């Protein structure tokens, strides 16, 4: 992981060009997903 890219907190690739795998920062909204899952479970 590129330390400078990791500290920025921006979306995108944070691995170094030499890395064997790509490491990505992807924005999520876990609370929204949980709320939707709870709502779906209530309506079953």
b/e map 22-35, b = 16+ CB within 10 Å: eeeeeeeeeeeeee
Q: Which domain holds residue 21?
A: 3-42
pLDDT of residue 33: 96
Length of the chain equals 44
Number of domains comprising the chain: 1
pLDDT of residue 19: 96
pLDDT of residue 9: 80
Whether the pTM exceeds 0.85: the reply is no
pLDDT digits (tens, 9 = 90+) for 1-43: 999 999 988 899 999 999 999 999 999 999 999 999 999 999 9
* 13 strand-pairing partners: 24
């Amino acid at each position: 992981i590129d330390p400078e890219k990791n500290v920025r907190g921006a979306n995108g690739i944070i691995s170094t060009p030499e890395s064997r795998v790509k490491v990505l920062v992807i924005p999520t909204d876990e609370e929204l997903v949980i709320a939707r899952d709870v709502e779906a479970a209530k309506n079953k």
